[in-house]
Structure 1
Amino acid sequence: MDHVKVGRLGPFPRVSKPVFLSSALLILAFIIFGAFFNELANEVFGQAKEFLSVRFGWFFIVVVNLALVMSIYLIFSRYGDIRLGHQTEKPEYKLISWIGMLFSAGIGIGLLYWGTAEPLQHFMAPPLGEPETIASAKQAMNISFLHYGLHVWAIYGMVALSLAYFHYRRGLPLAIRSTLYPLIGKKIYGPWGHMVDTLAVFGTMFGVVTTLGLGVLQINSGLETLFGIPNTITVQIILIVFITMLAGLSLFLGLDKGIKRLSDINIFLTFILLSFVIILGPTQFIFNSFVENIGNYLHQVIPLGLWTESYAGVDKWQSSWTIFYWAWWISWSPFVGVFVARISRGRTIREFILGVLLIPITILFLWFTAFGGSAVHLELLAAADPNLASPGLIEAVQADYGSAIFKLMELYPLTQPVTLLIIVMIVLWFVTSSDSASFVIDMLTSGGDANPPKIQRLFWAGTEGVIAAVLLAAGGLGALQAASIVSGFPFAIVIVVMLYSLLRGLSRDRLILYRNQQWFITEESAEHNSANEFVDEHLLTGPPKIKDPSE
C-alpha cells in the first residue's frame, strides 16, 4: 500500500522526514538570514513582494474570484448534498464551537487590530476621490468589507473543502498533497507531495510568526495605555514567552479541551465587547449604516473584486492594500484550510460553504461597522461642527494602527476595564492562532495524521515563539512578512490546480441522491472502481484514518 512514510526522528515519534527536515532547514535558514542580515533580507523580500504585487496583481485577483465563483456554483450544484464523511454522519462539532474555531484559525485577530484602523485609514487616504468626506467614508467601508469579505472566505473555504473531501470521502491524508490526487495519483506520496506540504508549512509558520510579532506590539501598546508599562523589546519578548506558554498548554490539553474551549471563550468575549460598543455608542447610526454598508458592498463587490487599477498610472494604491491582502490570505490558506477541514467532518458541502462564507462575514461586517464605522462617524461629526473637538482617531491611526481601538475606547465609559478586556482578547486570539497553527504544521509534517503526537505540537509552538522573539529583536519582521506574501504566489497556482482537482474528484463521486435520501453506487462508479481510482466502501462508511485509495 502506498502512503506517506513516517517514522521516528530523534524525540519525535511520527514524522514525514522529507517534509519535516526540509521545513526545519528552510525555517532555520530564514531565521539566520532575517536576524543577521535583516537589512539585506528586507530589501530582497521587499523587492520580490513589490514585483509580484505590481506584475502579477491581476493573477491574485483572478484566483480569489475563481474561488468565489466555485463556491457559489457548489452551493447550487448537485454536489451540495454530499456529506464530508458517510452520509448518515452528524457534524463533529456544534455550530457555535465550529464558528469559534473558524475565527481562531481564520481571522479573529484582525477584528481587534484592523476593525477600527482600516476604515479610518481609507477614510483619510482613499484610493479614489477626496479624503475625509461622506463619499470617502462609504468607500472606506466598501474596501474594508472587500478585504475581509466573500473573497477571503471563499479562498479559505475552497482549500478547506478540497482537503476535507479527499480526506473524509477518499481516505487520503489530511494534507495539501491529497488535493492533487486526481491529477498525479500516487505521485502525491513522492517529491511533488513533499514540496507542496513544505510550502504550506512555510506559509503557515511565517504567517503566524509575523502576526504574533506584530500582535505583541499592539498588546504592549494597550498595556502602556492601561498600566504605563514601557513599550520596549524586553516587554514584547516577555509577552511572546507568555503567549507561547499558553499555546503550549492549550495544545497539551488537545483540540476539544484546549482550542475548542478557548475559541468558545473568544466568541463569547467578542459578542460582549461588540454589544458594549453598539449599546453605548451611536446605536442608531451603527444599525442604519450596517444595512447600508452591506447594500453598498453587494452593489460594488463585482467591480471592486475585479478592479486592477489599470488606469491609475505609476503610483498604485492597490499593490499596498488589496493585492497585499489577497497574497496574505492565500499564504494563510493552507493553515486555515487544514484546520477548518479537521473540524468540519459530518457537514454537507452546501452547509459547509454557506457556513464558511456567510457566518464569519456577518460578524466581521457588523464589527467593522460598529468600530471602524463609528470612528469614521465621529470624525465626520467633528469636521462638520466647529464646536466639537476632534476625537484624535485619525492621528492615532497615523501614529500606530494597533493603538486605534484603544483610542476609540477612551471615548466610551469604563475605559480601563474595556481596555483590559481587549488586551485579554488579543492574547486569547493569539493563543488560539498559535496552537491552531502548531496543530496544522504537525499534521503536515507527520504525513497528514489528523491526530499527531503532542510532543511534536509543543515543538512547533515553541519554534513559533523563538522565531518571533529573535526576529522582533533583530528587526527582521518586515522581511518575514514580505516573505510570507511572496510564498502566496506559488500557492495561488496550487489553489487553481486544487479547484480543478476538486471538480474532477466530485464528478467521480459515485453517489446519487434520490428523493428518499437513499444513496447507492452506480454502474459508472463500478467502471471507476475497475480502474482502481477510488475505494467504494469509503463513500458509505467513511475512510480509515490514513489510507491510500489505490489499496
Structure 2
Amino acid sequence: MLQSKMNPRVFWGASAVIAVMLSSTLLAPGRSDQIFRAAQSWAIETFGWLYVTAVAAFLVIVLLLGFGPAGKLKLGPDDAEPDFPFVSWLAMLFAAGMGIGLMYFGVAEPVQHYTAPPDVQPGTFLAAREAMAITFHHYGVHAWAIYALVGLSLAFFTYRKGLPLTLRSGLHPILGKRINGPIGDAIDVFGICGTVFGVSTSLGFGVSQMTAGLAYNYGMPDTLGLQIGVIAAVMGAATLSVLSGADRGIRRLSELNLILAILLMLFVMFSGPTLFLIRALVQNFGLYLDHFVVRTFTLYAYEPRAWMADWTLFYWAWWIAWSPFVGMFIARISRGRTIREFVSGVLFVPAGFTFLWMTVFGNSAIAFDLGSAQGAIAQAVDADLSTALFKFLEYLPGAQFTATLAILLVAVFFVTSADSGALVIDTLASGGSEDNPRWQRVYWCVLLGVAAASLLVAGGLGALQAATLLAALPFCFIMMLLAIGLMRQANADLGGEPISDDAPSIGERLKRMFVPASRREIERQIAAVGEPALISVRDAMLEEGWAESHVTLADGIASLSIQFADDRVFVYRLIPRSRPLAAYTAMDAPESRRSLTWTLSARVDGDHRQRDLTGFSVERIAHDVLTQLESWRPARVIEE
C-alpha cells in the first residue's frame, strides 16, 4: 500500500477554501452571484489593458523560447526520451485544453458573432466573415500561448532541474528556498482552487449540453434529477479512468476522443457544403493572419463598447484562469520533448485543429442559417446555447445518429476533463508526487463531481464562473514571474558547458524500455560500479597530491567530494532517480513497477542538469567524473 505524500497545508487548505466557496454559493447564490460578477466586471474594466498586453507578451516569449537557441534544450536530461507517442501526446493536449468548449461553442460562437458583430452590420456576408475571424482569434495561438507558458515552465523546472511538479517550482529562480514556505503553499492552493472551480464550471456546461441533447433528441425531461444522474454516471467513469493513471485511462480516452471528434467533423464536412468549407478555411486563416497584430492589441480605447469585455477580455481571463490546470497537465505528459517540440506541438497543432473545427461547424451553421434554416439556427442559439449543436445537426443527414455521437463525444470530453483535473490536483496537493494512494485521486475526483452538482442545484454556475475569472487577475502576475524565471534559467543553461555525449548501449536501452529497473537495482548498480569509479578518481587525485578527496556511500547515494586549496569544493553524486514509465511498456507489471522506472543519475552540486548513466561501466563513470571536473565552475546555476 502506497504511503500518502500529501502536503497537509496545501491539501487541507485548498479543501477548506473550496468548501467555503461552495457553501457561499449554496447558501446565498443570488448574493454571491452579484458580488462575484461585480468584482469580475471591475477587474476586466480596470485591467483589460493588462490582460491584452500580458497575453501578447506571453505569445512573444513562448515563440522566442521555442524557436530561439533555447529550443534545443530538453524537458529532462539531455538523453531523455518522450514518455508518450506523438499522436497520443497531441490527443491528450486536445482533450484537456478545449474539448467541451469546442462542442459547446463550435456552432454557438460563430453564429453569435454573425448576429451581433462588434464592427459591421449583423446578418450580412461581411458579418459572417468577421464572425469567423473573431472566433479564430479567441481560440487561436494566443490561448495556447497562455497554456504553453505555464506548462513549459513547470516541465522545465521539474524534469530538467529536478524540482517538484508544482506551480511553485517555476518561481525558484526568483524566490529560491522561499518556495518551500507559505508563499509556495499559497501558490499551490491557488492553483488547486482555480482548477476545481474552472473544471467544475466546464463540467456544468458539459452536463447542460448532454441533458439538452437527450431532451432534444429523445424527449427525456431536462430536469435537475437527470443532470445529477449524468454527473454521477460520468464521474464514476472518470474515477475509474483516473485510478488507472495517465498511461492507460487518460491516454486511451483522449485517443478515443480525438477519433470520435474527427469522425463527427469529417461527416459534417463531407455531408455539408464541402467545397465552400475548404474555401472558407483558407480565407478565414488569411483574414486571421491579416488582422493578427490589430486584434492582438485592440481595446476599443477610442470607441468603448461592452463587446470587448463580454468577449475578448472574458476569454483572455478565462484562459489564464484555466492555465494552472491545463499547463500542469501538459507538463505532466511532456517529459523528454525539446522546448521546440513542445512549443510547436502545444501552440500550433491544437490551434490548427480548432481552426478546422470552427470552420466546419461555424461556417456550415451560418451557411444553413442564411439558406435552408431561414434563421432558425440563430434563433436556437439565442434561446439556449446548449441546444445549438443539435438544432444545427437537423440540417444534415442522419441527424439522430450524429446527435447521439455528439452526446457521446461530450460525455468522453467530460470524463477526460474530470480525470485529468483530478490527476493534476492530486499532484499539486502532494508536493509534486505522482505516486500517491488511490484514495487521494478518488477524493479529488469526487470533489469535482460534488462541486459541479452542488452548483447546478444552487444555480451558482454563473457565480463560480465569475469567481474563476476574477482569480485570473492575480495569476496573471504569477505568470509574469514564471516567464521571467523560465527565460533566466534557459539562458543560464545555454551558457553552461555541453553535457557528455556518452550514452547507454542499444541493449541497455532496450532492457530499460521493456524491463524497467527498480530503485533497489539502481542502488546495487551504484554500489557495484558507481562507488568503485569514484574511488578510482579519488585515489588518482590523492596519489598525485592535487587535492583532498573523499568518497561516501549512504542511503543508496554515492558522492565524491574534492576540496581545493582555495576552499572551492567539487561534489559529484550518483543518485537513484525515478521518472514516469514509458507509455508503451508492458502493463501487466505490479502497480509500483508500472508507474515509475528508476535510473542511475549523475549530478554535480550547483548544476541541476542530470545525466543518465544507467548501465555505464566503472571506466565510463570515471570518465564522466573527469569530464565534469574539467568543465566545472563553482558558481551555482540557480541560487539557493
Paired with 1:403 and 1:499, the residues of 2 have a C-alpha distance of 40
Moved more, 303-312 or 116-125: 303-312
In the alignment, which residue of structure 2 is the partner of 1:540? Answer: 611
Q: Deviation string for 1:41-83 (max 9, x for gaps)? A: 0010000000011111111111111111012111221111001
1:328 corresponds, among 308, 318, 321, to 318
Helix, strand or coil: the match of 2:5? strand
Shift, 1:528, TM fit = 13
Paired with 1:349 and 1:136, the residues of 2 have a C-alpha distance of 39
In the alignment, which residue of structure 1 is the partner of 2:340? Answer: 350
Q: Deviation string for 1:456-501 (max 9, x for gaps)? A: 1110010011111111111111111100001111101100111001
- Counterpart residue type for residue 447 of structure 1: G
In the alignment, which residue of structure 1 is the partner of 2:596? Answer: none
Check if 1:399 corresponds to 2:387. no
Paired with 2:404 and 2:450, the residues of 1 have a C-alpha distance of 26
Check if 1:459 corresponds to 2:443. yes
Q: 1:44 to 1:277 in 2, by over 3 A?
A: same
Q: Deviation string for 1:155-198 (max 9, x for gaps)? A: 10011000000001100000000000000101000011001111
Check if 1:141 corresponds to 2:132. yes
Paired with 2:132 and 2:67, the residues of 1 have a C-alpha distance of 29
Helix, strand or coil: the match of 2:493? coil
Check if 1:472 corresponds to 2:456. yes
CA contact (8 A) 1:147 1:325 kept: yes
CA contact (8 A) 1:528 1:534 kept: no
- TM-score using structure 2 length: 0.78
* 1:371-520 pair list within 5 angstroms: 371-380=361-370, 382=371, 390=374, 392-509=376-493
Paired with 1:81 and 1:238, the residues of 2 have a C-alpha distance of 49
In the alignment, which residue of structure 2 is the partner of 1:210? Answer: 201
Check if 1:186 corresponds to 2:177. yes
Q: 1:257 to 1:130 in 2, by over 3 A?
A: same
Shift, 1:138, TM fit = 1.2
- Counterpart residue type for residue 54 of structure 2: V
With a CA cutoff of 8 Å and minimum separation of 6, indicate the structure with the bigger relative contact order.
1
Paired with 1:515 and 1:92, the residues of 2 have a C-alpha distance of 21
Shift, 1:14, TM fit = 2.2
Shift, 1:539, TM fit = 3.6
Shift, 1:389, TM fit = 5.3
Helix, strand or coil: the match of 2:77? coil
Paired with 1:339 and 1:264, the residues of 2 have a C-alpha distance of 16
Q: 1:165 to 1:463 in 2, by over 3 A?
A: same
Paired with 1:518 and 1:53, the residues of 2 have a C-alpha distance of 53
Check if 1:63 corresponds to 2:54. yes
Shift, 1:124, TM fit = 0.1
Same amino acid, percent of matched pairs: 41
Paired with 1:12 and 1:468, the residues of 2 have a C-alpha distance of 29
CA contact (8 A) 1:170 1:534 kept: no
Q: 1:219 to 1:529 in 2, by over 3 A?
A: farther
CA contact (8 A) 2:234 2:415 kept: yes
* 1:282-361 pair list within 5 angstroms: 282-313=273-304, 315-361=305-351
Q: 1:542 to 1:494 in 2, by over 3 A?
A: farther
Paired with 1:389 and 1:79, the residues of 2 have a C-alpha distance of 52
Aligned length: 523
In the alignment, which residue of structure 1 is the partner of 2:10? Answer: 19
Paired with 2:88 and 2:373, the residues of 1 have a C-alpha distance of 43
Paired with 2:238 and 2:212, the residues of 1 have a C-alpha distance of 22
Q: Deviation string for 1:184-228 (max 9, x for gaps)? A: 101000011001111111110000001112221110110012211
Helix, strand or coil: the match of 1:538? coil
More strand by share: 2
In the alignment, which residue of structure 1 is the partner of 2:99? Answer: 108
CA contact (8 A) 2:78 2:499 kept: no
Paired with 2:496 and 2:639, the residues of 1 have a C-alpha distance of 23
CA contact (8 A) 1:84 1:347 kept: yes
1:230 corresponds, among 213, 221, 226, to 221
In the alignment, which residue of structure 1 is the partner of 2:622? Answer: none
CA contact (8 A) 2:161 2:608 kept: no
Shift, 1:436, TM fit = 0.5
Paired with 1:528 and 1:104, the residues of 2 have a C-alpha distance of 49
Paired with 1:24 and 1:247, the residues of 2 have a C-alpha distance of 20
Q: 1:389 to 1:493 in 2, by over 3 A?
A: closer
Shift, 1:15, TM fit = 1.0
Paired with 1:164 and 1:23, the residues of 2 have a C-alpha distance of 23
Paired with 1:210 and 1:389, the residues of 2 have a C-alpha distance of 31
- Counterpart residue type for residue 439 of structure 1: L
Shift, 1:403, TM fit = 1.2
Q: Deviation string for 1:13-38 (max 9, x for gaps)? A: 22101111210110000111000111
Paired with 2:377 and 2:343, the residues of 1 have a C-alpha distance of 37
CA contact (8 A) 2:164 2:431 kept: yes
Shift, 1:453, TM fit = 2.7
Check if 1:169 corresponds to 2:167. no
List 4+ stretches of structure 1 deviating above 4 A.
Answer: 510-519, 527-530, 532-535, 548-551
Moved more, 72-81 or 490-499: 72-81
